[in-house]
Amino acid sequence: MLPEADELPEVLLDLAVPHEDINGLVALRDRLWEDAEARWLLDRCVDALVRDMGKPGGTPEFPVLPEGLGELGRCFFVYVYVAALPYAREYHRGRGIPEEVSRRTLADLGRHLAVHRRARGGRGLAVPGWHGLHFRGELYQLGRLQFQRAVLGERMGGAVAGGGAGVGAGAGRAAGPGDPCLNLHITDYRGPLSPEACDRSLALAREFFARYFPEERYETAVCHSWLLDPQLRHYLPADSNIVRFQDRFRQADGYGRDPDDSTPVGFVFGDRDLAVDRLPRRTRVERAVGDHLRSGGHWYGGHGWFSL
């Protein structure tokens, strides 16, 4: 069930939904509730989301809604997460997870509404399924970084296993495919990616998962991100936050080399569809991303790991 219209603003504000989106989402709530097919889909999506709550890798694939639904379609999954909120909070309480960690984790919904507005100028979620990780208890915001409970796949697990005996899976053996790992994610609107902020975040994660998920042994951290593209080193100084973040990781081989130019454009400039010749050059990172593309180069996703 969705909160009543007069109760919804408080719930949305708790999820850090931007103030300028509140009235519009309250108005859309009644439109959704009066549509029997939309209510049916809401029930199905919430049911799929909370089934196997807490199980890593269990986040469902949500349907792509037709563009003809307009703003209701772009905002539909906000209501899915609002309806799933009591289940997420119950799971967190059952694990003993501190309220402030729960609040900051689930508030990522509001941050992504702000990201969408920056890129598209209106309400919506660009990647609706992403927040399933938060609302299913798979991902947590701990300081500057987000940590997703996951398992090592074949390629990353093979890279970790080749890193040396005893690395990442306790004494006596190397971690490998199928072993637990923490997948690191870097969010916008959280300040600089400084080494100090990352150190604090990693310290919080070590304590958090050992205390609240003691049955799961997380000793390897992995990251899949354009921020790990080694080409960034050609443009940024060795003491830059991004290069120092890269220095934490061992590069994992075996991944494809398909160009992914739109991802860094989207993260750095807010809109992945911006024309290359219009990209600003205000900061070192903006100049690095834009100048590399203007010179005919491409950006690629990087893949790395380190032992916790």
- Provide the CA 38 distance to its chain's centre, in angstroms: 26
82, with CB counted inside 10 A (0-12, 13-18, 19+), is: buried
Q: Is the pLDDT of residue 169 over 60?
A: no
pLDDT, position 220: 96
pLDDT, position 211: 98
Structure tokens at 191: 């300040």
Q: Is the pLDDT of residue 171 over 50?
A: no
Lowest mean per-residue pLDDT among 60-69, 96-105, 287-296: 60-69
Q: Is the pLDDT of residue 202 over 70?
A: yes
pLDDT, position 175: 86
Which of the four pLDDT bands, split at 50, 70 and 90, describes residue 164? low
Q: Is the pLDDT of residue 84 over 60?
A: yes
Query: For 151-173, what is the mean pLDDT?
Result: 74
Which of the four pLDDT bands, split at 50, 70 and 90, describes residue 115? very high
DSSP string, 16-43: T--HHHHHHHHHHHHHHHT-HHHHHHHH
Q: Is the pLDDT of residue 168 over 90?
A: no
Residue 178: other Cβ atoms inside 10 A: 10
CATH 3.30.40.230 applies to domain 143-307: no
Q: What is the pLDDT of residues 49-69, one digit of tens each?
A: 999 999 998 889 999 999 899
Q: Rounded CA gap, 46 and 77, in Å?
A: 10
Structure tokens at 300: 């690629």
Query: For 116-133, what is the mean pLDDT?
Result: 92
How distant, in Å, are the alpha carbons of 18, 40, 122, 275 from that of 148? Answer: 25, 30, 29, 33
pLDDT, position 165: 42
Q: Is the pLDDT of residue 277 over 80?
A: yes
The contacts of residue 23 (CB under 8 Å, 6+ apart) are none
Q: What's the whole-number average pLDDT of the chain? A: 93
Domain positions in the chain are 7-136, 143-307
Q: List, in sequence order, every beta strand (DSSP E) within 194-271.
A: 220-225, 250-251
Q: Is the pLDDT of residue 163 over 90?
A: no
306 — phi, psi (to 5°)?
Answer: -155, 160
pLDDT, position 173: 59
Query: For 69-95, what is the mean pLDDT?
Result: 97
146: β partners: 141, 185
Helix, strand or coil, per DSSP, at residue 298 = coil
pLDDT, position 147: 98
